[in-house]
Structure 1
Amino acid sequence: MKKIISILLISVLVLAACGRPDEGGGSANEGNNDGEGGGDNYTIRLAYLVSEEQSTHLAAEDFKKKLEEESDGRLKVDLYPNGSLFSSDREAVEAVQLGNVEMTIPALASVSSFNKKFMVFDLPFLFDDYDAAYKALDGEMGQQLLDELEENDLKGLVYAENGFRHISNNEGPVEEPSDLEGLKFRTMENPLQTDTFKEYGANASPFAFGELYTALQQGTYDAMEQPISLLYTNKFYEVQDYLTLSSHFYAATILLMNNDFYNNLPEDLQELVMEASEEYRTEQRKIAQEQDKEWLEILKEEGMEVNELTTEQKEKFREQAQPVYDKYTPELGEDLVEQALSANE
């Protein structure tokens, strides 16, 4: 009997030492090397919230394939879609920061919790179109912000996208800010975005994405805002009746890697990671925009009533949100805000 108890105790201790990815299992680089110089193997656990049919995952599959094939097997990439490891972007980013997993692809808005300058991209109606967004994100401004993430133990690789975000609700078409007054409105975990919808008169508050469908179904919230891709893939059309194409925020995503993990990779693998990330960005954006067109038509077929804000209507929303610009510009820096706005020129 003592022998059996000893064996069981040893088994428990081994399992505890291994840990799950979301319980601080440590860097995947640990315990995965073959012990021969120059021949080390590395595992990248890549976690994100979206489903397998969304553009983020489809492009991540090619990202995985490229890294594994062109590294001759020295890199292994494990994909964890559907929020299978973490129920919110913030949790996933924190896990990468701590080295519990190696990578995540969160909505950019969640990164402002780690560096407030990223809130500049959450200013309402900041970009007129995709070209303006790409000019800001892929240029000097975006790169400078990526570099600053290293101070937070994060390696910012590239920006991708969820697309422009739009308003959905169960009360009626939204054509002016007053249509949002009093609605229980879910926002992302981002104070600037929450403040924006409070300016429109909504009863706005943040709520975890992974539990949002149930909250809408149970009436905890009347309204929310999402890009078309997430409205479709998460079947929010089943619990939301009206969709207003408002394009109030451009929703970027970001490829994040644990900074120590990246720096510990051999130089040739670092270069391969960057090359694969840039290819991911191009492919993912292309798929995302194709899906938006296709899935918007399906949302209509599923019964959502869709209206699109005119340029004049958008201007009313932007004017009413001016206090948000006034509040956050001193905090973010006037130069940074002007640099972002200049991308529209």
Structure 2
Amino acid sequence: MGCRKIKKGMILTALMFGGIIGLSGCGKKQDDQLSVRIAHDNNVNTPLHKAFVKYEELVEERSGGKIDVILLPGAQMGSVQDTFEQCRRGDIEMSGSTTSNFTQAIPEFAALESFYMFDDSAHAKRVFESEAGEELMKPLERMDLVGIGYMELGFRNFSNSKHPITKAEDQKNLKIRGYNPIQIKAWESLGVNTTSVSWNELFTSLQQKMIDGQECATNSFYTEKFYEAQDYWSLTKHVFTNFLWYANKEFMESISEEQRTILLECAEEAIDYNWKLADEAEEEALKKLEEEGVQVNEVDVQERRKMGEIINEAIKGDIVSLCGEETYNMLMDAVEEQREK
């Protein structure tokens, strides 16, 4: 669409001059045309961005071209903290990131830092779409934002060069990268030894056997070629990384009921599409790892729940001190309610 090209050109010109001056107000009606800018830091090949492309198509089709969705991927508008503030001010209409990035501003999100909450992605989706998931988005309103919904970035799993992980005891005395206080306390509760290693130094540390293993998303394990230094990839699924999609509150309240309905209904479809794509991408990455000679193993859900009990007992106090007992209990109750026994 020609008008989109003009708007994107304006954005790029503004960025060249060191800011987003002149962009405010672009989301308002202009000759019955509504523009919705969505900025995020994922690259264009990710399931997340592909879902936003789907959203763009759905919204523009259902609005008859009267709502123009403008996608700004790959951190074009800055870091997730930058776009958080831009969306709060109304300089852009929508953005998002994992809730882990916002626990300082919105401490209630710390409840989602618990380990082994979800048995699989379907379980996670049910929890995020439950009343508890909706309640967790309400604190966004303090920041002049409203939640649209949760998308999937995926589970973190455990790799090492010694043996497959099938139970808690298999992790004892393994030396891995530690990177924040809660994560370090979590792993050390299982007898894992942690040491400070930056992400940029991780491959070299694995290759030179300075550490035995690490934990990350499957796609990261493949793209960073950690498989060249690690023989075992165990699907511990210990932490789920979400992507919280949010919008400027004033913008959502200023548009017509019809426009709001289109934006929210299309968002539901785009979110479902993202979860589907993310699961497919996970399966594809696992196949590639096996082709590279990595031994991939599932970890029995009962064993994962046992590990979760040990870890969460160790870190519960730290998390509750941030999110509060009420929020923590609300989320954990939903986790159990949505679990398939």
Normalised to the residue count of structure 1, the TM-score between the two structures is 0.76
Answering whether residue 114 of structure 2 is matched by residue 123 of structure 1, we say yes
> Structure 1 residues 276 and 96 mapped into 2: Cα distance closer, same or farther (>3 Å)?
same
Aligned to 1:20: 15
Aligned to 2:3: none
Structure 2 alignment gaps of length 5 or more: 1-9
Cα deviation code 1:30-55 (max 9, x no counterpart): 2576754xx14324132232x33321
In the TM superposition, residue 332 of structure 1 has moved relative to its aligned partner by 2.9
> Structure 1 residues 24 and 242 mapped into 2: Cα distance closer, same or farther (>3 Å)?
farther
Answering whether residue 52 of structure 2 is matched by residue 60 of structure 1, we say yes
Q: Is the 8 A contact 2:148 2:247 kept in 1?
A: yes
Aligned to 1:77: 69
Distance 1:224 1:84 in 2: 30
Q: Is the 8 A contact 1:194 1:205 kept in 2?
A: no
Answering whether residue 260 of structure 2 is matched by residue 256 of structure 1, we say no
Q: CA RMSD in A?
A: 3.6
Tell me the amino acid that sits aligned with residue 164 of structure 1: F
In the TM superposition, residue 250 of structure 1 has moved relative to its aligned partner by 2.6
Q: How does 1:1-345 map to 2 (within 5 A)?
A: 19-20=14-15, 25=20, 28-31=23-26, 35-36=30-31, 39-49=32-42, 51-86=43-78, 89-169=80-160, 173-175=164-166, 176=168, 179=171, 181=173, 183-185=175-177, 187=179, 192-200=182-190, 201-203=192-194, 212=199, 214-219=200-205, 222=211, 223-232=213-222, 237=227, 241-311=231-301, 313-321=303-311, 322-329=313-320, 331-333=323-325, 335-336=329-330, 337-344=332-339
> Structure 1 residues 238 and 253 mapped into 2: Cα distance closer, same or farther (>3 Å)?
farther
Cα deviation code 1:299-319 (max 9, x no counterpart): 121233323323454355224
Tell me the amino acid that sits aligned with residue 280 of structure 1: A
> Structure 1 residues 25 and 117 mapped into 2: Cα distance closer, same or farther (>3 Å)?
same
Structure 1 alignment gaps of length 5 or more: 1-14
> Structure 1 residues 26 and 67 mapped into 2: Cα distance closer, same or farther (>3 Å)?
farther
In the TM superposition, residue 227 of structure 1 has moved relative to its aligned partner by 2.9
Q: Is the 8 A contact 1:245 1:306 kept in 2?
A: yes
Secondary structure of the 1:254 match is strand
In the TM superposition, residue 150 of structure 1 has moved relative to its aligned partner by 1.3
Aligned residues: 320
Secondary structure of the 1:20 match is helix
Tell me the amino acid that sits aligned with residue 216 of structure 1: L
Secondary structure of the 1:290 match is helix
In the TM superposition, residue 181 of structure 1 has moved relative to its aligned partner by 4.5
In the TM superposition, residue 154 of structure 1 has moved relative to its aligned partner by 2.1
In the TM superposition, residue 283 of structure 1 has moved relative to its aligned partner by 1.0
In the TM superposition, residue 71 of structure 1 has moved relative to its aligned partner by 2.7
Aligned to 1:12: none
Q: Is the 8 A contact 1:27 1:101 kept in 2?
A: no
Distance 2:82 2:184 in 1: 19
In the TM superposition, residue 117 of structure 1 has moved relative to its aligned partner by 2.0
State the identity %: 23
Distance 2:16 2:233 in 1: 37
Q: Is the 8 A contact 1:117 1:145 kept in 2?
A: yes
Distance 2:129 2:280 in 1: 21
Tell me the amino acid that sits aligned with residue 148 of structure 1: P
Aligned to 1:3: none
In the TM superposition, residue 90 of structure 1 has moved relative to its aligned partner by 4.3
Normalised to the residue count of structure 2, the TM-score between the two structures is 0.77
Distance 1:303 1:101 in 2: 45
> Structure 1 residues 33 and 147 mapped into 2: Cα distance closer, same or farther (>3 Å)?
closer
> Structure 1 residues 113 and 272 mapped into 2: Cα distance closer, same or farther (>3 Å)?
farther
Q: Is the 8 A contact 1:177 1:316 kept in 2?
A: no
> Structure 1 residues 289 and 182 mapped into 2: Cα distance closer, same or farther (>3 Å)?
closer
Q: Is the 8 A contact 2:145 2:246 kept in 1?
A: yes
Bigger drift between 310-319 and 151-160 goes to 310-319
